[in-house]
Structure 1
Amino acid sequence: MKLKTRLIIAFLTVILIPVILTSVIVFVLGTHQIHSIEKNYELKGTTVKSLSNSVETMSALTEKPFQELSQVAEEEPARLEEVSYLEQWNRRLQKKKSFLLTTREGEITYVGSGKKQVDAILSQLPEYGEASEASQNGIYLGGKEQVLLKQIDVTYADGQKGSLFLVTDMKDMIPEIETFLVRMVYGVMIVLILTAAVLIYWIYRGVMRPLAKMQVAAKNITEGNLDFELKQESKDELGSLCRDLEAMRKRLKDTTEERLKFDQENKELISNISHDLKTPVTTIKGYAEGILDGVADTPEKVDKYVKTIYNKANEMDLLINELTFYTKIDTNRIPYNFSTISVNGYFNDCAEDLAMELEPAGIEFGYFNYVEEDVKVIADTEQIKRVVHNIVNNSIKYMDKKKGKINLRIKDVGDFVQIELEDNGKGIAAKDLPNIFDRFFRSDTSRNSSKGGSGIGLSIVKKIIEEHGGKIWATSRENTGTTMYFVLRKYQEVPIHE
């Protein structure tokens, strides 16, 4: 879930859940409190709306006593002169936060409450005969003493006039209503706290868990530990960040491994070059000392020593050239000069050069061309020549037969021209064959060391062919020989339509 969606849900939840749960709390607590109020105060048909109107609620509390006392005032007014009877009623009314007050001919004859409270309302008491239908619901008297009056006019047995008042204190609510409000406030607070806590936990869990993992990952990367996996657990922005961080870790690990491999290869290259240079240098030094010391005491020996020195210097020059070319190929700075060349013309010349080079070495050379005269390719003549000579020199280096053979075949294979160089040398083991084009790979270290070579010749060949848009591979059988194949795409003229 996206972080934006999570925040929208949290926003709606903060609004909706408290509203819904508050409504439920109000309904449940309200129903319970209304039932309790109706039971304690002998009320019927009470609603939350009526409870919210304090005048209506307090009026309802004394509705039944008002009706009963009105009936007594009409049928048995003499009883309202009995103090014991009035006390009985007053005790009953005290449970309803009310008391009785009676008057006769404008004089107070009975008070069911303290003098202080009576004095505050005495001046506001209506006179006899002022009772109306409105008094059944009560007359609210504000001011310091907030009370609700219900007036019942009485004509006593002796003909005197008076009034009976039900006085209800309005300053304090019904305890159950207070309890209801307090509980409702607590309930709303609990709902808000729980809602906030759940949402905070939900957001914290959704945000902090991936952040904690990313923090650990960042610490590992800082410390150089890249051997771990940062799994993406969600599809939100943090999940995408985890995925990007994991991709960065993999890239860093690959880069680090490549750098370590490159450093190792460079060390191997230096070691190989040092070893391969040491042999001709030692030879040159030895023959030069032989000349200086007079060991070469005849013109023939001097000529032989000089030729040996020259040949070893050439070997060193070839090795240095190969190293120089390797640095260019490793930094993609090979100077290619592509041109359209005739396959037959180019490889015929190449075959002549190879025949002249192989003849002094006593190696039989065969050339077989199966390509039509008009077939052309786009290639760098110098670099393709380097490819052929590197392969041939590799074959010469590991030739173990007394009568060596090397064959060059040129074939037409559809859109490509295929070049094959076959020898009858020692061959390559099947387990080593897939790796022969890797940099510095040497299938047999001791054997290769004895033969010399930096181990980069075939990797250079592969790079050049791939830069030409071609492909190179090899087949080999141990003690039988090896065949190297590479293909070059044909040049095809695109007809121009007028």
Structure 2
Amino acid sequence: MKFKTRLVITFLTIILLPLVLACTAFICIGGALIRGQEEYGLRNKDYNMLIDPTQASKLMADEIFLEVREILDYEPSGIEDEAVLSGINEKIVNRSSYIIVRRQDELFYTGNQLAANQIFSELPHFREENVRENEKQNIYLDDMKKLVRQMDFYFENGDEGSFFVITRTNPIISRRLFVDMAIAIMVILIFTSMFLTNWISRGVFAPINQLNVAMQNIAEGNLEYRLPDKDDGEIGELYRNYEDMRLRLKESTDEKILAEKQNKELVSNISHDLKTPITAIKGYVEGIMDGVADTPEKMDKYIRTIYNKANDMDRLINELTVYSGIDSNRIPYHFHKIDVSEYFGDCIEEVGLDLESKNIELNYSNLVTPGTLIIADPEQLKRVINNIIGNSVKYIDKKKGEIDIRILDELDSIRVEIEDNGKGIAAKDLPKIFERFYRTDTSRNSAQGGSGIGLSIVKKIVEDHGGYIWATSKENEGTCMHFVIRKYQEAE
């Protein structure tokens, strides 16, 4: 829930909940007090009688006296009709009141016989001046907690008559009502405060404390601590932002750990691969210095070997440089329009000499239409071919090695296939061979040398040319590398 909605609900709750509960308490407490005060058949369903009994009684009596005066003025015989008097009494019976009609000094009619017997002897006497002046007499019988209002009149035969409205007024009820209501309101306010405090605590403070604990875990390096899912609202957004931050930090940390591991592996691989040619160069140089190469043939062999080992070192250093360029995404490219047939013809001629010295047969076929052009960096594309062929040479385990290079025409692109008859790659390893530092068999590859980044460099260069690369292989039969580069087309 949003904070704005929560504040509106809190505001309405502070106003409405105490009001509703106070009204409920008033009804319940008033009803209980009224039921507790039922005496002599008196009932009260008018809460005004509890709050201001004197004023309520006066207003009620004035209404009754007005009705009686109309009966006396227009139909005097009605005051002697018990049905009429019962109807008048019925109007006030539920307001802790009843009527008494006195004729001469005797009880003529009453709406409550039991209560009338108690109070009749205490009623004030008939006064003729009240009849002449149309006055109403009010007295309060304190010992019986009764408010008496009297109207004097004459019956049709001239008998003296008095009409009384008797109301039970118990101030104790009013005081108890206010005391009980004050206690009830205090309880209601305490309950409302506790309810809102608990609601806000569960809805705001508890989630914030959870978020604080989560941030402490992040500060301590625990990136596995997760927060429970939350609904919409500011708290939910905070939780989702925390989770996004945690996942990104975890991903960044994992990448950092992996990069450190890979860098250590690279240093180890490069150190191993540099140490091998350096040891060889050192050995052959010592041989020359010691006079072991005492014939022109031996001298030529030693120098050629030293040259080849120096080239291996140069290749490794170049790979390291390219690897650094991959990480910073700053491999230098110099793109040109290249004629496919001429370019690959020159490459094959250069590569063929090297393979021939290693007793590996090279087969080349070009099925691309003459004059076909591509946009590429000649040096980087040559690196791709050399890395793939170098990889093939490294893992050819047959006495007679073979490498087939095919250039195929595919409408708007060319496909280059470089296939060898080496030991092949297992199906489970094929999807991973272009990952940096991945080796299908570390124990065997360590003997072969290599930094483990050759094919990742190939993939990066091909993709930077707008192409893509993949491999197919069968174990013990050989591997074929495929890469595709789009043709250059003149704009119409």
The TM-score, its normalising length taken from structure 1, stands at 0.77
Matched position secondary structure for 1:422: strand
Contact 2:42 2:97 (8 Å CA) reproduced: no
**1:135 equivalent in alignment to 2:136:** yes
Out of 459, 467, 472, the position equivalent to 1:470 is: 467
Question: Structure 1 residues 338, 299: closer, same or farther in 2, change over 3 A?
Answer: closer
Contact 2:97 2:168 (8 Å CA) reproduced: no
Contact 1:472 1:486 (8 Å CA) reproduced: yes
Out of 222, 226, 247, the position equivalent to 2:223 is: 226
Number of the residue aligned with 2:47: 48
Number of the residue aligned with 2:455: 458
Give the whole-Å Cα distance in 1 for the aligned partners of 2:410 and 2:470: 15
2:46 counterpart letter in structure 1: T
Give the whole-Å Cα distance in 1 for the aligned partners of 2:98 and 2:425: 121
Contact 2:130 2:136 (8 Å CA) reproduced: no
Give the whole-Å Cα distance in 2 for the aligned partners of 1:408 and 1:67: 126
Number of the residue aligned with 1:21: 21
**1:211 equivalent in alignment to 2:208:** yes
2:105 counterpart letter in structure 1: E
Number of the residue aligned with 1:380: 377
Number of the residue aligned with 2:155: none
Equivalence map 1:192-271=2 (5 Å): 192-271=189-268
Question: Structure 1 residues 152, 448: closer, same or farther in 2, change over 3 A?
Answer: closer
1:475 is displaced (CA, Å) by: 0.9
Equivalence map 1:99-498=2 (5 Å): 129=129, 133-137=134-138, 174-495=171-492
1:52 counterpart letter in structure 2: I
Give the whole-Å Cα distance in 1 for the aligned partners of 2:290 and 2:278: 18
Contact 2:51 2:174 (8 Å CA) reproduced: no
Question: Structure 1 residues 387, 175: closer, same or farther in 2, change over 3 A?
Answer: same
Number of the residue aligned with 2:81: none
1:230 is displaced (CA, Å) by: 2.3
Provide, for residues 200-236 of structure 1, a one-character-per-residue CA deviation record: whole Å limited to 9, x for no partner.
2222112233223322221221111122332313222
Matched position secondary structure for 1:341: strand
1:422 is displaced (CA, Å) by: 0.5
Contact 1:43 1:61 (8 Å CA) reproduced: no
Give the whole-Å Cα distance in 2 for the aligned partners of 1:337 and 1:134: 123
Runs of at least 5 residues in structure 1 that lack an aligned partner in the other structure: 77-88, 94-98, 104-126, 140-146, 154-165
Number of the residue aligned with 1:157: none
Number of the residue aligned with 1:75: 105
1:362 counterpart letter in structure 2: N
Provide, for residues 243-302 of structure 1, a one-character-per-residue CA deviation record: whole Å limited to 9, x for no partner.
111111111111111111111111111111111111111111112222222333344433
1:179 is displaced (CA, Å) by: 1.6
1:459 is displaced (CA, Å) by: 0.7
Identical-pair percentage: 50
1:47 counterpart letter in structure 2: D
Number of the residue aligned with 1:116: none
Which is further off, 243-252 or 300-309? Answer: 300-309
Which is further off, 319-328 or 220-229? Answer: 220-229
Give the whole-Å Cα distance in 2 for the aligned partners of 1:199 and 1:354: 83
Number of the residue aligned with 2:89: none
1:138 is displaced (CA, Å) by: 5.9
1:242 is displaced (CA, Å) by: 0.9
Aligned length: 437
1:67 is displaced (CA, Å) by: 6.8
Which is further off, 201-210 or 128-137? Answer: 128-137
Provide, for residues 118-163 of structure 1, a one-character-per-residue CA deviation record: whole Å limited to 9, x for no partner.
xxxxxxxxx9957965534569xxxxxxx9896899xxxxxxxxxx
Provide the alpha-carbon RMSD of the alignment: 3.8
Runs of at least 5 residues in structure 2 that lack an aligned partner in the other structure: 62-91, 107-114, 141-145, 153-164
2:32 counterpart letter in structure 1: H
Number of the residue aligned with 2:83: none
Matched position secondary structure for 2:136: helix
Give the whole-Å Cα distance in 2 for the aligned partners of 1:231 and 1:348: 63
Which is further off, 173-182 or 47-56? Answer: 47-56
1:457 is displaced (CA, Å) by: 0.4
Matched position secondary structure for 1:399: coil
1:222 counterpart letter in structure 2: A
Question: Structure 1 residues 450, 210: closer, same or farther in 2, change over 3 A?
Answer: same
The TM-score, its normalising length taken from structure 2, stands at 0.78
Contact 1:339 1:379 (8 Å CA) reproduced: yes
Contact 1:439 1:456 (8 Å CA) reproduced: yes
Contact 2:413 2:484 (8 Å CA) reproduced: yes
1:35 is displaced (CA, Å) by: 4.3
